[in-house]
Amino acid sequence: MQGADEVLAVIEDNAGRIRLNRPKALHALTLPMCEAMSAALTKWQSDDSVKAVIIDHAEGRGFCAGGDIRFLADGATRGGADSLRFFHTEYRLNYQLFTYPKPVVAFMDGVTMGGGVGISQPAKYRIATENTRFAMPETGIGLFPDVGGGWYLSRLQGRIGVYLALTGARLDGAECFALGLATHYLPAAALDEAKSRIAADPGEIDAILTSLSITPPDARVVHSIAMIDRLFASDVYEDILAALNDDGSEWAMKELATLRTKSPQTCKVALRQLAAGAKLTDFADDMRMEYRIASRVILLPDFVEGVRAVIVDKDNAPVWNPSTPEGVTPELLDAIFAPLPANQEWTPL
């Protein structure tokens, strides 16, 4: 299968093991990689010898840096069909993992962003280490925190999810554990032992991970929760900007400066996405909503411009359109979130 060399899917003892193997791109996901992962999961679901699934990366410092953004931007300039094929397949993989009947263990050892969040957060066991760097930085490239961000981020305590979605703030492993984004915190040096023991005895995953867990360092983000809850309290983007400006503290000014670099359009999209996601009771409905958003956002100017500024030219000077939050009208947001024609909606496998 195409992409098989970039996804190593094998059975080790009693576990299926999916290893991302695209180290030069920090294991960023391509369409063939998503297809290969989904095919392996489908095959193992009916294989009684596979009692659990392990997801990790083969080498390098990233678990998974996201999706192949250049591919998506190139596809957007050609009408978006290739990009939408990727999103449809990736979201099916996310949903497949979310509903998988066997325990999944994801090792978030290294960069875990965007698409990497989408394949780790559905797992029953999510392992953070001292190398974990977790973020949903999409608003900085004119995209939005997809792959289930509307579900996972909206269910974090207080307004932390909104803060992460808007600012793209990076969390370390200790912070992921403190917020519940990780279920366990292990030293990276213990991961090989954890994986081999889990593969040998999948029925003892809880005991194995507990025995190898250590007390994480101080979770810095916890000290900011009160400020985040107060200053990011509104679902109106202009209110958040005003609250940060009026507060005037060093922390608030730093976060305000960060938000000024983000796409006003996708910041407003993210706020509405999380508010809607919090009310949903079925993960499939969240995936359907996010596919609708993706189908519109990739064809709007900010996505291609954001990729140009941050990833291609690297001048970090995107020219957003609309350029101000006030320019992002309710009518534009309504159009982005509107249902698709029935034959174009996202569906699970």
Distance separating alpha carbons of residues 104 and 93, to the nearest angstrom: 13
Q: Give, in order, the Cα–Cα distances in Å from 200 to each of 123, 194, 213, 214.
A: 19, 10, 19, 22
β-strands 15-20, 7-12 pairing: antiparallel
β-strands 104-108, 125-128 pairing: parallel
Distance separating alpha carbons of residues 268 and 279, to the nearest angstrom: 18
b/e code 176-213 from CB counts within 10 Å (16+ = b): bbbbebbbbbbeeebbeebbebbbebbeebeebbeebb
Number of residues that this document lists for the chain: 349
Cβ-based neighbours of 151, under 8 Å, separated by 6 or more: 277, 280, 283, 286
| Residues designated catalytic | 67, 115, 138, 146
Distance separating alpha carbons of residues 164 and 183, to the nearest angstrom: 19
8 Å CB contact between 68 and 115: no
8 Å CB contact between 46 and 95: no
Distance separating alpha carbons of residues 64 and 57, to the nearest angstrom: 8
